[in-house]
Amino acid sequence: MWDESSGRTRIKLCEFECLDPAYEASQMGVDALGFHIFQHQDALEKAARFAEIFRHLPAAVTKVLLTDLELDFLVADVLPLLGCDAIQLYPDWSAEQIERLRNESPPEMRILKVMSAVTHENEFGNDEEFLRYYDRLVDAYLLDSHRVGGTGRVADWQHCADIVAKTPLPVFLAGGLTAENVTEAIQVVRPYGVDVENGVSDRIPDGPLVKNMAKCREFVAAVRSADRAMGRA
């Protein structure tokens, strides 16, 4: 996923909870799958379950943890059990905290910082200052339409394009993406990658959000088609 010699758009499908959909999605030519562990959940149970899932997924597919866990607990207990390839960091941690995370993690692990496309929702309240601070600390950004993820709402793509142009780091675009609109998003923003959760899922009435494999395939096909049309394939 991190080979920048390729100009294609990377694809990250987000929030998997069990093996069957994660394994099927991993066979679609995606670059990364996202897994969530938050403070209000049983983090060690989820980490053990995800570690078992990871054993059956292709090594070429990057396993990304989205988390807001406290640093001490994350590095001492969760990461050794989980064995993920990248961390999508939700909190606005200090430089010292991020450096500790990097120093106490495997050297090949990447750190993605979540950033809102709504400027005032970010730390500093200024895009340039936010990027200036985190550019030296992280490996990439996850640029979502809002600070709170999973809204299903589309970002201001022109503003997102401006942010992409202001940082040398890879930027993954998220927020309201679907197979129907991802081509336009790629054309306008020119992101390093795209990230989708709600757009490839269904909400079961009075039940959980579950992955729809047909939507996953349609999304992947739409991204690849957009790349071919733009000469990015």
Q: How many domains does the chain have?
A: 1
As a whole number of angstroms, the distance between CA 217 and CA 225 comes to 12
Report yes or no on 5 lying in a domain. Answer: no
**Res. 233: pLDDT tops 90:** no
b/e per residue, 78-99, with b = 16+ CB within 10 A? bbeebebbbbbbbebbeeeebe
Report yes or no on 4 lying in a domain. Answer: no
pLDDT score at 2: 94
As a whole number of angstroms, the distance between CA 193 and CA 84 comes to 19
Domain residues for the domain of 136 are 10-228
pLDDT score at 191: 98
Question: What does the block give as tokens for 214?
Answer: 């047909």
pLDDT score at 151: 66
**Res. 181: pLDDT tops 90:** yes
pTM of the model: 0.94
Q: Averaged over 188-201, what is the pLDDT? A: 96
Report yes or no on 3 lying in a domain. Answer: no
For residue 157, what is the domain's CATH number? Answer: 3.20.20.70
pLDDT tens by residue, 125-149:
899 999 999 999 999 999 998 777 6
